[in-house]
Structure 1
Amino acid sequence: MNYKELLIFDITGEYGHFRKYNTTTSPLTYSVPTRTAIAGMLGAILGMERETRDGRYAEDIVPVQEFFSKEKCGVAVQVISPVKKENIGFNLINTKTSFYDLTRAGHTQTEFELVKDPHYRIYLAMEDQSKFEELSERIENKRHHFTPYLGLAQFTAQVDFVQRATGHMVTSNGNMVEIITAVNLSKVVGNPPVEFQRELFYSANNMPIAMNRERQVLEYSEVLIEKSGKPLHVRVSEYLTVEGIGNILFL
């Protein structure tokens, strides 16, 4: 993959909900969008077709999660605004017993945990240069094919072009490095692998990293962030440095 060319853009909104896979009646949210959620947003912007039915795609259609797989695409996410969460009740309608007559359907209020005023910066590298150019043009000129959203359809995402930049892969020899993006803890090495600072607030969650075309999760990893957006200090074998911006790690 060509890591040198990076597309950098911001995603913001009023609320976001990136549902944790292990929550049931009161859905909890991750503090940052998962790699799989970001792939979905990029697919919406490009207008990539979804399946005709579960797991079935039209001929010559590459599913979003395969197109933006780790082997073909690098994705890093940075916290720009401090992570704030809020619980809000949603009135859900039971359509199983009365889909066409909602007056007879049962109503259930479910409390959702939401990220309030989310603001993230995404760093993207792609193997497919043609799609990279198209995505860059669409984001810069706000020509989204479908409306991107922050986890749930009612939470529309504002996507703003920041810049295109050049990155350089650096071998760290196991030294402690300052990283400005979320860190996939499967990539850290040495002892101690992470240097925590007392005045900062850290959060680590087991997040989906890769899915197949049936939307089955192929890989989970612990992902570490500093909740106010401060850099992390970790030991890694290699990282990407972006001149004038800082060091990043792909999820």
Structure 2
Amino acid sequence: MKILSFTASGSYARFRCSHTTTSALTYSSIHPVAVRGLIGAMLGIEYHELYEKTKDLQIGIKLLNPVIKDTQAFNLIPQTKNNSAANFQSRIQFLRDPAYQIYVQGESAILSELQEVLTNRNFVFTPYLGNSEHIAKVDFVGLYDPKTIKSKFSDTIMVKELVDLEKLDMDQICFDRIPIMNNATREYKEYQNVVMTPQNRTPLRKEQEVFKVGEDHVCFL
């Protein structure tokens, strides 16, 4: 199968952690479930069809900028009819200057359709990074015939258990537990502990099979 690559960036992003309510935290990066939603928006896939049409897409994510989080306080106003509850303040986290290179592997039909909308920039719905307020700048990079090689490093977000942590500069990495799969009702059903190293090649514990896409070594989550 071919692999399509595109970049997505913006001034801010927020991928809300599902276990938070009034104090909304964000995952440290866009995750595979959010990428499938982003692809669905650009292609105009209907909500009730999104899961079935994107569930088999394999997603790899490369961080292009360091992970920086801002926290802002908001005064939230109850919107329920006849709700006399008082306004309340909430602290909400955002990612600042997020930028990603996304790798997508899947059926040729959906990759061709995605390449067309990315190249012509005729998105059905405006792409955004987690919240509709955070519009994404999306650019097509290329469509590749990948090679499978053995490598001791990866350029993409990796499962923590596969990373050689002793060879990493701890000031330059980020750990998180992110959702990698959901179900038809948008409930997260599978998570992975991952390591993110922006613009640095991530050393692995041992040689792994990876995809060589251009100059990058890509692993899918």
- Give the TM-score taking structure 2 as reference length: 0.90
Structure 2 distance, partners of 1:217, 1:98, is: 33
| Structure 1: gaps of 5 or more residues | 52-62
SS at match of 2:25: coil
Aligned-residue offset at 1:195: 4.2
Aligned residue in 2 for 1:204: 175
| Structure 2 runs not aligned, ≥5 long | none
- Following superposition, the deviation at residue 224 of structure 1 comes to 1.1
Relative to structure 1, is the Cα distance of residues 73 and 236 closer, same or farther in structure 2, using a 3 angstrom cutoff?
farther
Q: What is the TM-score normalised by the length of structure 1?
A: 0.80
Matched with 2:76 is: 92
| Deviation at residue 236 of structure 1 after TM alignment | 5.3
* 1:17–1:114 contact (8 Å) kept in structure 2: yes
> Which residue is equivalent to 1:140?
119
2:187 paired with 1:216: yes
The 5-angstrom pairing of residues 1-150 of structure 1 reads 2=1, 5-51=2-48, 63-69=49-55, 72-98=56-82, 106-127=86-107, 129-150=108-129
In the alignment, the residues of structure 2 paired with residue 209 and residue 110 of structure 1 have an alpha-carbon distance, to the nearest angstrom, of 27
Separation of aligned partners in 2, 1:15 and 1:98: 34
* Backbone CA RMSD of aligned residues: 2.1
Q: Which moved more, 1:34-43 or 1:156-165?
A: 156-165
The total of aligned residue pairs comes to 220
Whole-Å Cα distance in 2 between the matches of residues 222 and 238 of structure 1?
19
Answer 1 or 2: which has greater helix percent. Answer: 2
